[in-house]
Amino acid sequence: MATSLADEKRYLSEVAARVDEILDRYLPSDDEEPRSLHAAMRYSVTSGGKRLRPILAWSAYKYCGGKDETAESSIHPAMAALEMVHTFSLIHDDLPCMDDDDLRRGRPTCHKKFGEAIAVLAGDALINLAFGLMGQTGSAEAVRLLSDALGTGGMLGGQIADVEAEGKAVDRDDVIGIHRKKTGALIRASIHIGAVLAGAEETKVNRLSQFGEKVGLAFQIVDDILDIEGNQELLGKQVGSDSKKDKATYPRAVGMDTARKDAAVLIDEAVALLENDENNPLVGIARYIGQRQN
Ligand code: IPE
Ligand code: IPE
Ligand code: MG
Ligand code: MG
Ligand code: MG
């Protein structure tokens, strides 16, 4: 029997709770010096969030037969690392010199709460911690995948393209290029790393990576759609932020109807790569990404 969206939400919240425990284990205590920095790191990481990247890594790991579920399991530090890198990207993305946003995960953004200097350094500290944790997996391949996803050919390349495209005319290919890098690369790498840590064979790793490419792009298209027609309470961030900065968004390039259609096609293609197996949690996550409201 196919898994329903309600089943999928239950699965997501169960794995998210596990992610929260893992993060708490690896984050420095805010009783330790430098307290202000540790407090800011904890504030941003533990303020909720869907935990999608570690959930994807975990789900790919399990799908590929990854077994060890103990605290020492190599997937645990990898999951923490992925969420820390993601949280770094949110803290810096919200800074006045970037998207200049005041609300994140339903709370004041890190720089609003702690000031810009601490927010910049909290982001830096999270990346540094993340690479140390990815190293703890013992997989040089996992470290390389994280570095590539984050680097100038990945998230950072996408973020600079996003900033430089503000106020300019963009077409579909331009936006796809930006979105694949700024958001898709880390989502794809999360799945890839999960598969690699489970020791999956190459054809399976490649298929999962293609799956990640499609859901990663769809994820950012939906993010752009929600910035226009989402609910601020549910999203925990301000709607209309993209139009305020005249951002290169998918709906701006192709219109809302095509944006919706393209996201749906990407999800269908991703699901087909996993043989449309509705019992596979990764398929459920792909469906959720297409339909999410937050
Ligand atoms: C927001 O990511 C930033 C993008 C890459 C679009 P998420 O929508 O995954 O944010 P959280 O982690 O749930 O807060
Ligand atoms: C963010 O894209 C991508 C990264 C943080 C790398 P957005 O700027 O659209 O994300 P939100 O909407 O602020 O979460
Ligand atoms: Mg941005
Ligand atoms: Mg932003
Ligand atoms: Mg956005």
**Given the CA of residue 220, which atom of ligand 1 is nearest to it?**
6
Query: In the 8-state DSSP scheme, what is residue 99?
Result: T
Specify the 3-state DSSP secondary structure of 195. helix
CA distance 292 to 55: 15
Q: Confirm or reject: Cβ of 105 under 6 Å from ligand 1.
A: yes
CA distance 13 to 97: 34
The pTM of the full predicted model, rounded to 2 decimals, is 0.97
The reply to whether omega before 34 is within 30° of 0 (cis) is yes
Establish how many alpha carbons lie within 13 A of residue 62's alpha carbon, considering only the half-sphere containing its beta carbon: 12
Contact 16, 292 (CB under 8 A): no
**Given the CA of residue 89, which atom of ligand 2 is nearest to it?**
5
Q: Confirm or reject: Cβ of 91 under 6 Å from ligand 2.
A: no
Test site for ligand 2: of 90, 164, 235, most ligand atoms within 8 A of the Cβ: 90
Beta strands in 61-167 (DSSP E): 103-104, 107-108
Q: Confirm or reject: Cβ of 223 under 6 Å from ligand 1.
A: yes
**Cα dist. 118→43, 100, 101, 183, 230 in Å?**
12, 16, 16, 24, 30
Extract the tokens encoding 173: 């290919």
Per-residue pLDDT of the chain (294 residues; tens, 9 = 90+): 456 778 888 999 999 999 999 999 999 999 999 999 999 999 999 988 999 999 999 999 999 999 866 656 799 999 999 999 999 999 999 999 999 999 999 999 999 999 999 999 999 999 999 999 999 999 999 999 999 999 999 999 999 999 999 999 999 999 999 999 999 999 999 999 999 999 999 999 999 999 999 999 999 999 999 999 999 999 999 999 999 999 999 999 999 999 999 999 999 999 999 999 999 999 999 999 999 999
Contact 92, 7 (CB under 8 A): no
Query: In the 8-state DSSP scheme, what is residue 50?
Result: -
CA distance 216 to 175: 13
Nearest-CA residue for atom 3 of ligand 1: 90
